[in-house]
Amino acid sequence: MSLEGTAFKLIKKYFMPTSYVEDFTKITPARLNQLDVKSVIIDLDNTLVGYDEMNANDRVLEWVRLMKENGIKVTIVSNGKKKRVRQFAKPHDIDYIFNARKPLSKNYKKAISSTGVSKNETVMVGDQLLTDIFGANLIGIKSILVVPVKNRDGYATLLNRRIERFIMRYFRKKGLLVKED
Ligand SMILES: [Mg+2]
């Protein structure tokens, strides 16, 4: 196999999500049911709200309520600091893990074991290929990529975003990564 073929296989293995949608509200109980998913691990910054929005809004709370009503667990797994993640999640009784250090596996495993739902029935939802999706692929769980809530990020993710744009262009060129309704 050519060097390009080998590189592509690796990039696909580690950075390709199971599915790609516009935002978290597209992740309905029906869609999760199709994927055989009963537990959602979800990123916070630029997935549920913009990185600079401190509190959960009605859209987020409505979605979390819908999940809970349908027996689907929701756990926020964020690389953000304790204060930020706690302030967002705790008032609404949403389970959370802060300082998660995604893509490292440790806190994905912690989140999965705390729900009591199997790996096969768990999905990771997030806006970043290099943290959220890479981490999901490293431990072998399903993943859903969403478009970032805001175009701008904190300074720390700038380099990640450049690499990510490169990978996304590559996937698109190969006809992969098509956004679903
Ligand atoms: Mg994010």
The mean of the pLDDT values for the chain is 93
Q: What pTM did the predictor assign?
A: 0.94
Neighbours of ion ligand 1 (CB under 5 A): 43, 45-47, 127
Instruction: Please give the pLDDT value at position 158.
Output: 76
Instruction: Read off the pLDDT of residues 124-166 as tens digits, 9 standing for 90 and up.
Output: 999 999 999 999 999 999 999 999 998 666 666 678 888 899 9
How far, in Å, from the CA of 10 to the mean position of ligand 1? 23
Domains of the chain from N-terminus onward: 3-173 (3.40.50.1000)
How far, in Å, from the CA of 18 to the mean position of ligand 1? 17
Instruction: Read off the pLDDT of residues 59-97 as tens digits, 9 standing for 90 and up.
Output: 999 999 999 999 999 999 999 999 999 999 999 999 999
DSSP assignments along the chain, one per residue? --HHHHHHHHHHHHH--SEEESSGGG--HHHHHHTT--EEEE--BTTTB-TT--S--HHHHHHHHHHHHTT-EEEEE-SS-HHHHHHHHGGGT-EEE-S--TTSSHHHHHHHHHHT--GGGEEEEES-IIIIIHHHHHHT-EEEEE--SSS---GGGHHHHHHHHHHHHHHHHTT--PPB-
How far, in Å, from the CA of 127 to the mean position of ligand 1? 5
How far, in Å, from the CA of 157 to the mean position of ligand 1? 9
